[in-house]
Structures are given as C-alpha cells and as structure tokens.
Amino acid sequence: MEIATSRSITTKLLLLLLLLLLPLSAREPRLEAAHGDDLDRAIASSDEKQVKIAVEALAVEGTSSAMEQVISSALLSGNSTVEDAALVGLRNLLPGSGLDWLCTQATKHPRKEVRDLLLGFLSKRKEKECFRAVLQGLYDEEDSVALKAIEALQGKGHPGSIPHMVRALQHQEDRDRDLSLVAERIRQMLKKLTGADLFAASEWDALWKGNKKVLGQGKKLDPAKIILKGSGVKVEPPAFFGQELVSEKIVFVLDTSISMKQRDPLPEGSKPTDKADAGKTGVNKRGKKDKGWEELPASRMRLRRVQKELKRMIRELPRSFKFCLVTFDEDVDRMSDQLVQASPDQKRRALKFVDNFDPEGYTSTDRALESAFKIPGVRTIVLLSDGMPFRANDPIDGMELL
C-alpha cells in the first residue's frame, strides 16, 4: 500500500515537473485561446465588466496575437459599450510586442473605426512609439482619423507638435485640400499654440523657424510683433508661374474660355508623375497634337494647371499684399469690386472663387482688362491667356483701354 502511494506521488510530481518545464511558447496559445473564448462570451452577453476582465487577461499576456484578438473581437464589435470596456481593459498593457502591434494597427489597419479607437487609446500613453503613431495619424487618408490625431495632440498642448502640424498642413495643401476640415483644424490648433493667425504651411513653417526659442517654451507670440523669419531663415517673395511679384497691389486676369479645356502634352522625356514638369508644356515640332492627347491626365488641362498654380500663389501671398481675381470667357466675373488684403479669410474666399473656374465660351480679353482697370488702387495687372482675344460683338479698341 505504501509502495503504491509512493508511486502515485512520484507520478504526480513528474507530471507537475513536465508541466513546469513546458516552454512558455507552447502554453501561451492555449492561454490566449482560453482568454479569447472568455472575451467572446463576454461580448455576446454585452457584459461591460466581463469584457473588461477578459481584455485585462489578454493584456497580461501582452502578445501581438492577444492584441489582435482584442481588435478583431471587441474593437470591431460595432458595440460602443464593448469598445469602451475593451479600451479600459488595455490600460495596464505593458510595453512590448502587444503595444507595438497596437501602434502598427493604429496607422495600418484597413478599418478606419479601429484606427480611430486606437489613436484615442495611444494618445493617453507616454511611450514614444505611441506618440509617433499619433503623429502618423495626421496623414491618414480618412479625415475622421486625422481629426482624431489632431484632437489627441491638442489635448496634450505640447509645443513640440507645432512642426509636425505644419508638415501635416503641407500634406493637405499638396493634395489640393487647402479648405478641408482637417486643414482648417490644423490652422486652429496652430493659432492656439502660437497666437498667430496665418494660412499657408510655408508661413507657419517660417513662423516656427523664426520664433522656435519662444514657441518651444510654450509661450505665445504677440500678434502685433510676429516675424516670419529669423537668423538664417529666408522667405522667398511670391511668384506666379515663375515670375516674381514685385507690386503689392495686383489684379490677376485669367482666361477661362473653352480653349483652356485643352490638355497640353508633357515635356519630351518626362512622365505624368514628374512633379518637376507639372507646370511645363510640351510642343509638337510640327505644331500638331500628339496622338492620344485625349488620354493625357486631367492635370494637364490648361485651366487645371492655372488653378493649381494660382491656389499655390494665393496661399503664400504675404499679408501686406492686396489683390483681386478677374476671370473671363464671353463674360467677365470679379472676385470683388476692389483689392482685398491677403488675410487668411480673404485667401479662403479667393480659393473658393478659383475652385469654381469652368472653361466655356469665347475670349473677351478686352472686357476683362476694362474691368481690371476700373479696380481702385491697382498697380500691376497680370494677364494669363492661351490665345488671341475673340468676341463676336462690339470689341473694344486696345488703345482705348490704355
């Protein structure tokens, strides 16, 4: 009897020893599976407390696969109560592969709902990798995610986010989204952090570089004493299609007639993606249209190229400039009856005006110039047209205009 008992004890001890010697890697999947089952049951019951407990158990595991279970089961449940409980359960997650996975998914997960939730969670963490993930969210293709990143950074109110916000604004401008909600929220945040009221990313960049010492301490600038450059920082004068604008009281007269619908060929040897050639025009040696010109991208349409360059120039006009836009086809349209200051609000107004350009009708250059000359205070008129004036009735003699 004693021998049998001794053998039984020995067997149990051996089994226990084998279990302890079992590699952690072999045990973890079983534990994660068990905790994953617990999470699924908690979600099915919509029990907020049980969801939190189940996620806490997966957070203790702390692996990337455990965090993927939280994402796929809880954060994609479509139940806000479950989502909130899961995020609470993740609070004690330690740095490691699991947190790294969440940072990766905050910027790369295919579902924007997940990216939204994870950015909100990571914004409350202190780890550098979490901060980097939030910054990356500024460039998300979905506005809701980018806005979540802006909200998170605004909550921190750290001056170190200023240059990152400037780059994010530049990203919006590069995508022709000057007036998007994301771009406007970025400007609002920059205004709150700096005390300045600017528009273009280039202006904010010059402000940061010229006042980094003060702004880096979390101090705001006096709007009356703001400078846009400092030692070693050069601010280029505004230019339109490469021509420097010297006068600060200027009217742009722009052809929007039907001929501006034409798409110009690319410069010889260039590709459609060559940014350096975006504003250049290729010319067929015999003056004929290239074969397949109709297949050229919309960005090669003359009026679209004018719009792009004009918007770039408008956003970068110094506040000291006063300007007006005049368009013409067979009719003439003016942005305003007088020159307006190049303030952020007037730039917004001008950009909306430019967005409404539509190529149609004849080329009433004479009437457009007549309208431009009537604007009080104008010192320079910039005329941009792709051809000879043409108007069927009552043309104005050029000498009369001068």
User: Region 201-226: what's the mean pLDDT?
Assistant: 90
pLDDT at residue 25 greater than cutoff 60: no
Residue 34 has pLDDT above 90, yes or no: no
Q: Nearest Cα to 190, choosing from 178, 181, 182, 198?
A: 198
Compare 8 and 275 and report the one with higher pLDDT.
8
- Domain residue extents for the chain: 26-202, 239-266+297-401
If you average pLDDT over residues 230-241, what whole number do you get? Answer: 64
β-partners of residue 332 are 328
The CA-based diameter of the chain, rounded to the nearest angstrom, is 128
Q: Is 78 left (phi over 0), alpha (psi -120 to 50) or beta?
A: left
* pLDDT for position 239: 87
Q: Which of 22-36, 46-60, 251-265, 294-308 has the lowest mean pLDDT?
A: 22-36
Supply the pLDDT for residue 166: 98
Which tokens is 291 given? Answer: 């074969």
Mean pLDDT of the region 268-278: 52
Supply the CATH classification number for the domain 26-202.
Answer: 1.25.10
The answer to whether 194 and 169 are in contact (CB under 8 A) is no
For residue 46, the model assigns a pLDDT of: 86
Mean pLDDT (whole number) for 289-312: 79
Q: How far apart (Å, rounded) are the C-alpha atoms in residues 190 and 263?
A: 39
pLDDT, tens digit, 9 for 90 and up, residues 353-402: 999 999 888 888 889 999 999 999 999 999 999 877 765 566 565 555 55
What value does the mean pLDDT of the chain take? 84
Q: How far is CA 336 from CA 73, 289, 321, 327, in A?
A: 56, 38, 15, 11
List Cα–Cα distances, 305 to 227, 232, 280, 312, 384, in angstroms.
32, 33, 9, 11, 12
Per DSSP, what are the bridge partners of residue 244?
239
Q: What is the pLDDT of residues 125-158, one digit of tens each?
A: 999 999 999 999 999 999 999 999 999 998 888 8
225 confidence band (pLDDT: 50, 70, 90): confident
Contact assessment for residue 284 and residue 386, using Cβ atoms and an 8 Å cutoff: no
pLDDT at residue 207 above 80?
yes
Q: What is the pLDDT of residue 237?
A: 76
Q: Which of 26-35, 70-79, 229-238, 328-337 has the lowest mean pLDDT?
A: 26-35
* Percent of the chain predicted with pLDDT > 90: 63
Backbone φ, ψ for residue 67 (5° rounding): -70, -30
pLDDT at position 242: 86
Whole-number pLDDT of residue 363: 86
Model pLDDT for residues 84-131, shown as the tens digit of each residue: 999 999 999 999 999 999 999 999 999 999 999 999 999 999 999 999
In this predicted structure, what is the pLDDT of residue 164? 97
Instruction: Tell me, yes or no, if the two domains 26-202 and 239-266+297-401 fold the same way.
Output: no
**Helices 143-156 and 162-174, interaxial angle, to 10°?**
160
**239-266+297-401: CATH topology:** Rossmann fold (3.40.50)
- Using alpha carbons, select from 251, 248, 240, 239 the residue that is nearest to residue 326: 251
Q: Which residues pair with 239 in a beta bridge?
A: 244
Which range, of 195-204, 274-283, 358-367, averages the lowest pLDDT?
Answer: 274-283
Give which of 203, 202, 173, 168 is closest to 186, Cα–Cα.
Answer: 168
Percent of all residues in the chain with a pLDDT value above 70, rounded to a whole number: 78
